[in-house]
A = this chain, B = another copy of it.
Amino acid sequence: MAVEFIDLRAIFLRTKKGIHEFMGILQPRIENAKDDHERLYYHHIFEEEEQRLDRLNALLPTLDYYIDNEDGRNSTNFQFVRLLQDISLEKFGLHNFLEHLDLALFSFIDPEHQDKLTKMRNITADDYQTIKVILNSLNENFDGVANAAGSIPTDEKEDVDASLKIDKYTSVTPKQGEAIQSPKEKIKTTKRLTVGSLKETKEVM
């Protein structure tokens, strides 16, 4: 169990580095925007990622605490349950970051930015697949309390029409160097978080 929390910390530290790098890319676009629309657009994405950074900075000390204190890790400990639910929201945050990076790839078209943004989006895509597997495991070990409202992207909702989704986000891509369950095993063993995405995958593929 502790190993999953250590993996989560590694993911959050990695994405924090990504946020700082991404904010550095956005900043000159905000400051040198050609009009109010462009300025608002880049400011808006910058602000959302800065907010995610604030959330991660608040979450990490609690995560570290429960890495060191196994006794508190149970589904009746309100603070621990809140941590699990906050982690679930940061799962959505990683998906959202992936979309911010993919949007940026359309507007930062010089080779240097393309290379930097592509590396960041691939790392984020891998980390997103990993955090989903970890959350399924945490839900199985802690009575499903990690499920939080607002943790499932539109792309993975079973009750949303495929016409509103983006295909590449509805399909599950195995993380390199990480043992990922096959879809069949997933459907058998996991909770709502990924079953939705797998069903959608069938619909849109």
The CA-CA distance from A78 to B153 in the complex, in Å, is 28
Give A residues with C-beta under 8 Å from B: 27, 30-31, 36-37, 39-41, 43-44, 46-48, 50-52, 54-55, 57-59, 78-79, 82, 92, 96, 99-100, 102-103, 106, 148-150, 152-155, 163-166
Query: Which residues from chain B contact A100 at a C-beta distance below 8 Å?
Result: 44
- Are A48 and B149 in contact, CB atoms less than 8 angstroms apart? no
How far apart sit A148 and B82, CA to CA, in the bound complex (Å)? 13
Q: Would B166 and A52 count as touching, CB distance under 8 A?
A: no
- Could you tell me if B103 and A154 are in contact, using CB atoms closer than 8 angstroms? no
Contact check, A27 vs B150: say whether CB atoms are below 8 A apart: no
Contact, CB under 8 Å: A48 / B164:
no
Q: Which of A36, A51, A165 has the most CB of B within 10 A?
A: A51
